[in-house]
Amino acid sequence: MKPVKIGICGLGTVGSGVVNVLKRNGLEIERRAGREIEIAQIGARRDNPACDTSGFNVSRDIFDVVRNPAIDVVVELIGGCTIARELVLEAIQNGKHVVTANKALIAEHGNEIFELAQAKGVTVAFEASVAGGIPIIKSVREGLAANSIHWLAGIINGTGNFILTEMRDHGRTFEDVLAEAQELGYAEADPTFDVEGIDAAHKLTILASIAFGIPLQFDKAFTEGIGAISSEDVSNAEDLGYRIKHLGVTRRTEKGIELRVHPTLIPEKQLIANVDGVMNAILVEGDAVGPTLYYGAGAGAEPTASSVIADIVDVVRALTVDPDNRVPHLAFQPDALSDLKILPIEEVETAYYLRIAIRDKVGVLAKIATLLSDQGISIEALIQRQPKEQVKGETVASIIIVTNRVIEKQMNHAISEIEALCEIVENVHRIRVESLD
């Protein structure tokens, strides 16, 4: 059979990884795909010393690739939403299948892209867009097809996890670890996407759609970054038997779908609480299978290339399959997507860790407990640190409270009442808590 001709757009960290792995493992990949996979063209504005492109047809205009009639599959690895969207839509218009690692593109424009792909009878594959080398899309979309999925929770940003781990284990500064993540090619072009939870929200949006069969709704995802986590919170969490992780959580409830990324206390006995460094992990709970856990490298050249090439193999195998019989992009048939609403964060129910700085006066703890109980919030654990700080001549102490589960708007109400107490020194620090049972 004739080789399948692919065109690679973008020769950054992931693009160079794809070229290198295809060169190294080409014969083995061909044995799996049933056809030779030939890199017929590479579109890249500049060379990458991490990858030798001698002998390849390299164009400085990436649009040459999608306009090349010889190309069967376009591999979009340039990132971003503007040019990437144009490129992918033009590739589909030209009847080409697309493989992409671009989570922002899929999370923000996936509905439009899949609709066009369906009309044109081509496939858009995006395994590498979530959790780098972990085959999580395939697992949820195909491996768990029998299940009604209740919830999933994941550490899905390697940079953020790397930063939290290094801060905890080696006392390094946030900026120092972030600079290393950038050098290693883990961080996004704009690293605020990593630390503010936007990158994780892109990935979570995609996971929620394939888990629950809902359209992609990135604009409704709640995100909170890791910038406000202090070393005090990290050690308090440890004392209480928890680890702090930047977690993406999506859950089906009777009222709608939760879709949220925020720092989270997780019991240290949970396997996912022990996922460190750049590694990612996703815990998925299905009604038939129960909990399942997927772990691996969430970023980096070759782990991400592993997912990109697996998608290329899938596309090659499905070239002769009737488009209506291919695996649907969002796991459910396009005309069977559900309109379950995404819950605003005020309606989400979680437990909380509160760190409250107080003037050390008689009765303040009782007042806080009363304000919490007025909102039906029960205290599960409480630590009062020895007063240690002197602020403007006053002794300041920290109270750390872990509560039971409560609707966020009730907690907001309790926190604003606590902050109004004259004994309170600064705004209450809150971190959500998930038991993941």
Q: Supply the residues annotated as catalytic.
A: 203
Q: Give min distance, CB of 19 to ligand HSE, in A.
A: 18
**Interaction of residue 297 with ligand HSE, rule CB under 6 A:** no
**Interaction of residue 194 with ligand HSE, rule CB under 6 A:** yes
**Interaction of residue 154 with ligand HSE, rule CB under 6 A:** no
**Interaction of residue 158 with ligand HSE, rule CB under 6 A:** yes
The DSSP secondary structure of 293-328, one letter per residue, reads EEEEE-SSHHHHHHHHHHHHHHHHHTTTS-GGGSPP
Q: Give min distance, CB of 249 to ligand HSE, in A.
A: 17
Pairing mode of beta strands 97-100, 124-125: parallel
**Interaction of residue 157 with ligand HSE, rule CB under 6 A:** yes
| Residue partners of 421: CB distance under 8 A and separation at least 6 | 364, 367, 368, 371
**Interaction of residue 133 with ligand HSE, rule CB under 6 A:** no
Give the count of beta carbons closer than 10 Å to the beta carbon of residue 48: 17
Q: Give min distance, CB of 178 to ligand HSE, in A.
A: 10
Is the Cβ–Cβ distance between 426 and 357 less than 8 Å?
Answer: yes
Instruction: For residues 305 and 250, give the distance between their C-alpha atoms in angstroms, rounded to a whole number.
Output: 27
**Interaction of residue 307 with ligand HSE, rule CB under 6 A:** no
The residue count for binding ligand HSE (CB under 6 A) is 11
**Interaction of residue 423 with ligand HSE, rule CB under 6 A:** no
Q: What would the two tokens of residue 137 be? A: 């899309």
**Interaction of residue 108 with ligand HSE, rule CB under 6 A:** no
Looking at beta carbons only, is 110 or 298 nearer to ligand HSE? 298
Instruction: For residues 372 and 351, give the distance between their C-alpha atoms in angstroms, rounded to a whole number.
Output: 13
Instruction: For residues 352 and 165, give the distance between their C-alpha atoms in angstroms, rounded to a whole number.
Output: 21
- When binding is defined by CB under 6 A, the residue of 107, 187, 249, 358 that contacts ligand HSE is 187
- Is the Cα dihedral 265, 271, 277, 281 positive or negative? negative
Contact region for ligand HSE (CB under 6 A) — 56-64, 151-159, 170-178, 321-329?
Answer: 151-159
**Interaction of residue 188 with ligand HSE, rule CB under 6 A:** yes
Contact region for ligand HSE (CB under 6 A) — 154-162, 224-232, 235-243, 360-368?
Answer: 154-162
Contact track, ligand HSE, 57-86, x by CB under 6 A: ------------------------------
Looking at beta carbons only, is 177 or 337 nearer to ligand HSE? 177
Q: Helix, strand or coil for residue 191?
A: coil
Contact region for ligand HSE (CB under 6 A) — 4-12, 68-76, 182-190, 388-396?
Answer: 182-190
- Is the Cα dihedral 257, 259, 264, 270 positive or negative? positive
- When binding is defined by CB under 6 A, the residue of 108, 127, 196, 199 that contacts ligand HSE is 199
Q: Helix, strand or coil for residue 390?
A: strand
Beta bridge partners of 198: none
Q: What would the two tokens of residue 320 be? A: 């002769």
**Interaction of residue 298 with ligand HSE, rule CB under 6 A:** yes
Contact region for ligand HSE (CB under 6 A) — 68-76, 89-97, 155-163, 410-418?
Answer: 155-163
Instruction: For residues 105 and 107, give the distance between their C-alpha atoms in angstroms, rounded to a whole number.
Output: 6
Instruction: For residues 370 and 227, give the distance between their C-alpha atoms in angstroms, rounded to a whole number.
Output: 31
| Residue partners of 252: CB distance under 8 A and separation at least 6 | 149, 150, 151, 212, 340
Q: Which of residues 214-233 bind ligand HSE (CB under 6 A)?
A: none
Is the Cβ–Cβ distance between 261 and 430 less than 8 Å?
Answer: no
**Closest to 208 in 3D by CA, of 299, 294, 337:** 337
- Burial letters for 97-110: b for 16+ Cβ neighbours within 10 Å, e otherwise? bbbbbbbbbbbbbb
Q: What would the two tokens of residue 198 be? A: 């936007």
**Interaction of residue 126 with ligand HSE, rule CB under 6 A:** no
**Interaction of residue 159 with ligand HSE, rule CB under 6 A:** yes
- When binding is defined by CB under 6 A, the residue of 126, 151, 186, 294 that contacts ligand HSE is 186
- When binding is defined by CB under 6 A, the residue of 7, 10, 110, 132 that contacts ligand HSE is 132
Q: Give min distance, CB of 166 to ligand HSE, in A.
A: 13
- When binding is defined by CB under 6 A, the residue of 62, 272, 299, 418 that contacts ligand HSE is 299
Contact region for ligand HSE (CB under 6 A) — 186-194, 221-229, 308-316, 401-409?
Answer: 186-194
Site residues for ligand HSE per CB under 6 A: 132, 157-159, 186-188, 194, 199, 298-299
